[in-house]
Amino acid sequence: MNTVLSYLIFLVLIRLNVHYLTASGLSFIVGTLFSYTVNSRYTFYVQRNILDFTKFLFVTIASLSFGLLLLYILKSKLGIPVLIAQMFVVIVRFPFVYLLMKFVVFGLKRSS
């Protein structure tokens, strides 16, 4: 759900002529805050605390940095249209962010 929300916000910001890197960053932050709230409450059923939020911020900053760099390379260096490039970034970033949230931020053990 947060992936769709992030991409829709990105689309709106692009249509409003916001620079593509700014639009990507803002849409990612909104989607990630939504994700943290939903995942902590409904997906992983954990109590939120300052340590988890600190880990969440670290994962978010790392993921955002990776995503912005990848988007820049795809659009500015490879000439891929920004909406397609952003979709690719979201698809590539999603499984890594999910796994980091699950195992690092929310500290859930892997099933054997």
The pLDDT assigned to 110 comes to 52
Q: Mean pLDDT per 10-residue run, the chain (112 residues)?
A: 87 97 93 80 68 84 93 98 95 87 72 50
Q: Which helix (H) or strand (E) holds 90?
A: helix 82-100
| Cβ atoms of 12 and 24 closer than 8 Å | no
The pLDDT assigned to 38 comes to 79
User: What are φ and ψ of residue 110, in 5° steps?
Assistant: -75, 140
Question: What are the structure tokens assigned to 58, written together?
Answer: 């670290």
The secondary structure of residue 17, as a DSSP letter, is T
The secondary structure of residue 22, as a DSSP letter, is H
Q: Give the global pTM.
A: 0.76
